[in-house]
């Protein structure tokens, strides 16, 4: 096991900028491809990303075992090796397992951990507080919530998140919502040092203008350089911002595929870019149809990489 030492909650790398929701790469037999994963991490960092988020939606975490999640985190922490911020996804249906993964990730030296609420049983605010409180009390590094109501039918309210932030349970949140007003309210309701991250490519320009601290996107796996250009141009008030955003927007219609196609779509774009990966996804996720592959090949953005 690789250990990089614990980091204290009050002394950690700032989470900001463009952070790919990293894909988990597999071999043909759906087993984790360590070599491809390490090469992909280098590709992302070399293209200027500000951090990496492992084991999110694009990372197919739902269909990985606890041991496989630990394997992905160990590979990722070793390959990142402190070069950029690293957020570890520790989501699980079980609080006990989320706590175990959080401790494991902390021992690997990650910057922060992030957890989406468990699905299946409907949860109320008391359940939400219990889940995040148990994780936060077990670690010293920051804990981020992952708000994605499409997956668990529960939209974390700014009021509840602000309460958890004030109690030092949550240090930030990834907002994968299609409502810019929700993001604005989250920013306004929470303390100044609370990190709010945009999770929807479609809202990126509006979210930047609203004052988010960063963006975690699946498309940052494929177009990291363009998204970093967008981020840098916005931060430095460069006129090129609008041009970069218009160029990137060409890829957004591709995201209209059903949600269970997203990991496949991301990997097929990487293949179309000439990356040496197997576009395998973990069953029961579906592989995209040929008509989507044609749309990928027609992207001007692809040719610009």
Which CATH number belongs to the domain containing residue 37 in this structure? Answer: 3.20.20.70
123 burial type by CB count under 10 A (0-12 exposed, 13-18 middle, 19+ buried): middle
Q: Taking a C-beta distance cutoff of 8 angstroms, is the pair 153, 181 a contact?
A: no
Residues designated catalytic? 146, 174
Total tally of structural domains belonging to the chain = 1
Is residue 167 situated within a structural domain? yes
Give the side-chain half-sphere CA count within 13 A for 99: 12
Tokens of 45: 């960092």
Is residue 1 situated within a structural domain? no
Question: Can you tell me the distance from the alpha carbon of 227 to that of 60, in angstroms, rounded to the nearest whole number?
Answer: 22
Average pLDDT over residues 111-128: 94
Is residue 296 situated within a structural domain? no
Band of pLDDT at residue 205, cut at 50, 70 and 90: very high
pLDDT for residue 6 is more than 50 = no
Is residue 105 situated within a structural domain? yes
Is residue 97 situated within a structural domain? yes
pLDDT for residue 228 is more than 80 = yes
Is residue 262 situated within a structural domain? no
pLDDT value of position 305 = 64
Is residue 30 situated within a structural domain? yes
Question: Can you tell me the distance from the alpha carbon of 284 to that of 261, in angstroms, rounded to the nearest whole number?
Answer: 10
Band of pLDDT at residue 152, cut at 50, 70 and 90: confident
Average pLDDT over residues 104-109: 98
The whole domain housing 163 covers 17-250
pLDDT for residue 202 is more than 50 = yes
| Mean of pLDDT over the chain | 94
């Amino acid at each position: 096991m690789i250990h990089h030492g614990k980091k204290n909650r009050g002394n950690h790398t700032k989470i900001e900028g463009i952070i790919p929701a990293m894909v988990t790469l597999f071999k043909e037999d759906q087993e984790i491809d360590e070599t491809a994963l390490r090469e992909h991490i280098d590709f992302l960092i070399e293209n200027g990303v500000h951090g990496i988020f492992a084991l999110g939606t694009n990372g197919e975490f739902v269909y990985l075992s606890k041991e496989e999640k630990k394997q992905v985190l160990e590979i990722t922490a070793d390959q990142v090796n402190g070069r950029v911020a690293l957020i570890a996804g520790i989501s699980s249906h079980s609080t006990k397992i989320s706590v175990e993964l959080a401790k494991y990730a902390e021992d690997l030296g990650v910057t922060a951990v992030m957890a989406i609420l468990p699905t299946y049983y409907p949860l109320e605010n008391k359940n939400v507080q219990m889940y995040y409180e148990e994780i936060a009390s077990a670690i010293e590094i920051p804990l981020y919530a992952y708000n994605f109501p499409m997956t668990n039918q529960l939209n974390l309210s700014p009021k509840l998140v602000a309460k958890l932030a004030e109690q030092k349970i949550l240090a930030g949140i990834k907002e994968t919502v299609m409502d810019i007003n929700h993001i604005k309210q989250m920013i306004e309701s929470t303390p100044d040092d609370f990190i709010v991250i945009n999770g929807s490519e479609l809202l990126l320009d509006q979210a930047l203008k609203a004052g988010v601290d960063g963006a975690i996107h699946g498309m940052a796996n494929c177009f990291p350089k363009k998204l970093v250009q967008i981020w840098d141009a916005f931060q430095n008030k460069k006129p090129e911002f609008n041009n970069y955003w218009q160029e990137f927007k060409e890829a957004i219609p591709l995201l209209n595929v059903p949600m269970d196609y997203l990991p496949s779509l991301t990997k097929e774009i990487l293949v179309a870019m000439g990356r040496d990966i197997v576009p395998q996804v973990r069953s029961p996720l579906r592989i995209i149809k040929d008509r989507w592959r044609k749309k990928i090949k027609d992207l001007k953005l692809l040719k610009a990489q």
